[in-house]
């Protein structure tokens, strides 16, 4: 069994990590102090494919693994 990341999974991980470092980390302390979710980041998170729900029939058609669904 191959447990290596696919190129797509690596790309998702890298984009997510970059966004977190550039956008979330610098503002994390303030957001924690304000006890709020940064709704202003939803459009950017959506562009990265990190928002929304997985619909079984759609994800099956895409041939996504359970792991990929969680990364999405």
> Mind listing the pLDDT tens digit for each residue in 35-53?
999 999 999 988 888 887 6
Residue closest to 27 by CA, chosen among 17, 38, 39 = 38
Q: Are 65 and 1 in contact, with CB atoms under 8 Å apart? A: no
Length of the chain: 72
pLDDT at 28 over 70: yes
Task: Judge whether residue 65 has pLDDT over 60.
Answer: yes
Quick one: pLDDT at residue 8? 86
Q: What number of H helices and E strands is found in the chain? A: 5, 0
In 1-72, DSSP assigns E strands to none
Q: Across residues 16-44, what is the average pLDDT?
A: 94
* Rg, Å, the chain Cα set: 15
- Separation CA 19–CA 48 (nearest Å): 9
What number is the average pLDDT over the span 51-62? 61
* Residue 4 predicted with pLDDT over 80: yes
């Amino acid at each position: 069994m191959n447990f290596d990341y696919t190129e797509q999974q690596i790309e998702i991980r890298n984009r997510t990590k970059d966004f977190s470092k550039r956008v979330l980390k610098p503002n994390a302390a303030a957001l924690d102090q304000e006890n709020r979710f940064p709704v202003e980041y939803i459009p950017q998170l959506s562009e990265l494919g990190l928002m929304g729900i997985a619909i079984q029939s759609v994800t099956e058609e895409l041939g996504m693994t359970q792991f990929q669904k969680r990364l999405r």
